[in-house]
């Protein structure tokens, strides 16, 4: 089901070692990980041995996998000629955040964590909904077309989470990415967080096959 991982000839390995430049190898592995994300996200729930989990949990995990896959594809398209280093950095940070949340949710594997994740993305919607409803009350119940559309859209999203507005507001905030990494790796020393989130420009420097970060976007 899965494609073969990248392989390299001894001649290529010798060239990488001689030049001390392993970026072409990294680029192939980067593409491979993106493909794996896409394949796993495409597995049907009806497949044999597919673990039974709540539908909303499945939607969250598949959504995060798809996001990672699409963003990896975007970075490949942007950077394969060594260009757009700054843009690559921005997208890579989003990939890091999404993949960290995905792994954290899988490890926690409980309703509370998934509810906190869902609520984190909807608390602003609840706040906007309350703001719109207050404006409607000030107009003695007169609803504008755009307000009706916003109310319907927000309520539809809330309904799909199987949470009420009150439950969403009551949910604890998600932990920071740094704290998530601590939960994921017992001995985490913040190195991954510092490198991927605080020093994103270095990722470009090591990744770009043709030293694209030295070029102007």
pLDDT tens, position by position, 97-136 = 999 999 999 999 999 999 999 999 899 999 999 999 999 9
Q: Do 51 and 61 touch, CB atoms closer than 8 A?
A: no
pLDDT band for position 94 (cuts 50, 70, 90): very high
Whole-number pLDDT of residue 192: 62
Which has more pLDDT, 92 or 46?
92
Q: What percent of the chain has pLDDT over 70?
A: 85
pLDDT attached to residue 83: 75
Average pLDDT over residues 87-92: 87
pLDDT at 88 over 70: yes
Q: What is the mean pLDDT of residues 166-183?
A: 89
Half-sphere exposure in the Cβ direction for 7 (13 Å, CA): 3
Cβ-based burial of 39 (10 A; exposed 0-12, middle 13-18, buried ≥19): middle
Cβ proximity of 168 and 118 under 8 Å: yes
Report which listed range, 61-65, 74-78, 90-94, is most confident: 61-65
* Percent of the chain predicted with pLDDT > 90: 50
- The model's confidence at residue 197, banded by pLDDT at 50, 70 and 90, is low
Q: What is the average pLDDT score of the chain? A: 84
């Amino acid at each position: 089901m899965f494609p073969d991982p990248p392989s390299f000839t001894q001649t290529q390995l010798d060239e990488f070692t001689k030049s001390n430049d392993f970026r072409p190898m990294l680029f192939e592995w980067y593409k491979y990980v993106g493909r794996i994300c896409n394949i796993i996200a495409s597995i049907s729930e009806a497949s044999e041995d597919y673990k039974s989990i709540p539908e909303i949990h499945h939607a969250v995990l598949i959504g995060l996998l798809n996001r990672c896959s699409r963003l990896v594809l975007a970075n490949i398209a942007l950077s394969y000629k060594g260009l757009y280093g700054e843009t690559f950095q921005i997208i890579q940070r989003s990939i890091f955040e999404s993949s960290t949340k995905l792994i954290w949710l899988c490890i926690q594997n409980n309703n509370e964590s998934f509810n906190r994740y869902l609520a984190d993305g909807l608390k602003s919607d609840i706040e906007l909904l309350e703001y719109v409803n207050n404006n409607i009350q000030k107009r003695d119940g007169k609803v504008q077309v755009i307000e009706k559309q916003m109310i319907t859209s927000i309520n539809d999203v809330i309904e799909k989470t199987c949470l009420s507005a009150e439950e969403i507001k009551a949910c604890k905030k998600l932990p920071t990415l740094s704290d998530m990494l601590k939960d994921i790796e017992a001995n985490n020393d913040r190195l991954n967080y510092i490198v991927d989130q605080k020093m994103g420009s270095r990722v470009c420097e090591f990744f770009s096959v043709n030293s694209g970060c030295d070029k102007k976007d």
